[in-house]
């Protein structure tokens, strides 16, 4: 899919229709996240126990991320790295086959189960189920220097999954970030309830078929 950044900068031209979409999206996010937390609560308890036995440190990893309109919020994830993973490096991108990842962390990342605590972020209203993935402020500050339109992705709430995640591979360089940005901006300018459902179904398919997101 070829997407033009220049043609993906306008959001919600039909203000009334877009406002209705945001209301429906928030209601769906809240009740879906609540339902999923109830369903996955036994699994989340088992994951927490496994993390505790696998390596020292907290079960939940908290990190600052950029939300809608640049508001900083705290994201929750199951800890998948060593406690001192960024002691010497500072804020850096996660890598494939990252040596900082723990044994249970490798499994959690491969199955995306480390993202489950972000359902609490959805309940709080910091995130949506679908939207551009939230970036760290430190990394985003560097990215905007080489990608002028990067902050345009902050026009909507970040999501647990998004169009860029189901349509593009794992990003490992600036070129990958630029390509994923095209998908983020396309999503922003074409956001609707049915597109959200399609992305959610694609996400489930990717996970079940072990394609990775």
CB 166 within 8 A of CB 199: yes
- Alpha carbons within 13 A on the beta-carbon side of 75: 25
CB 132 within 8 A of CB 153: yes
* pLDDT of 61 over the 90 cut: yes
The pLDDT of residue 55 is 87
Confidence label for 82 from pLDDT (cuts 50, 70 and 90): confident
Region of 105 (left: φ > 0; alpha: ψ -120 to 50; beta: rest) is alpha
- Please write the tens of the pLDDT for every residue from 173-200: 888 899 999 999 999 999 999 999 999 9
**Percent with pLDDT over 90 in the chain:** 62
Confidence label for 39 from pLDDT (cuts 50, 70 and 90): very high
- Please write the tens of the pLDDT for every residue from 71-80: 999 999 999 8
- Please write the tens of the pLDDT for every residue from 8-29: 444 444 555 678 899 999 999 9
Residues in the chain: 213
């Amino acid at each position: 899919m070829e997407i033009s950044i220049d043609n993906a900068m306008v959001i919600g031209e039909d203000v009334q229709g877009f406002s209705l979409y945001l209301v429906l999206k928030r209601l769906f996010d809240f009740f879906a996240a609540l339902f999923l937390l109830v369903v996955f609560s036994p699994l989340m308890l088992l994951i927490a126990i496994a993390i505790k036995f696998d390596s020292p440190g907290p079960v939940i990893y908290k990190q600052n991320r950029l939300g809608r309109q640049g508001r900083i919020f705290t994201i929750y994830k199951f800890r998948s790295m060593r406690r001192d993973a960024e002691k010497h490096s500072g804020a850096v991108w996660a890598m494939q086959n990252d040596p900082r990842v723990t044994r249970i962390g490798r499994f959690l990342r491969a199955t995306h189960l480390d993202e489950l605590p972000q359902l609490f972020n959805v309940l709080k209203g910091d995130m949506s189920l679908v939207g551009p993935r939230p970036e760290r402020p430190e990394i985003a500050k560097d990215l905007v220097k080489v990608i002028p339109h990067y902050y345009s992705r902050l026009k909507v709430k970040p999501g647990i999954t998004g169009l860029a995640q189901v349509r593009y591979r794992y990003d490992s360089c600036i070129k990958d970030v630029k390509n994923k940005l095209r998908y983020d901006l396309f999503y922003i300018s074409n956001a609707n309830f049915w597109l959200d459902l399609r992305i959610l179904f694609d996400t489930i398919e990717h996970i079940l078929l072990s394609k990775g997101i």
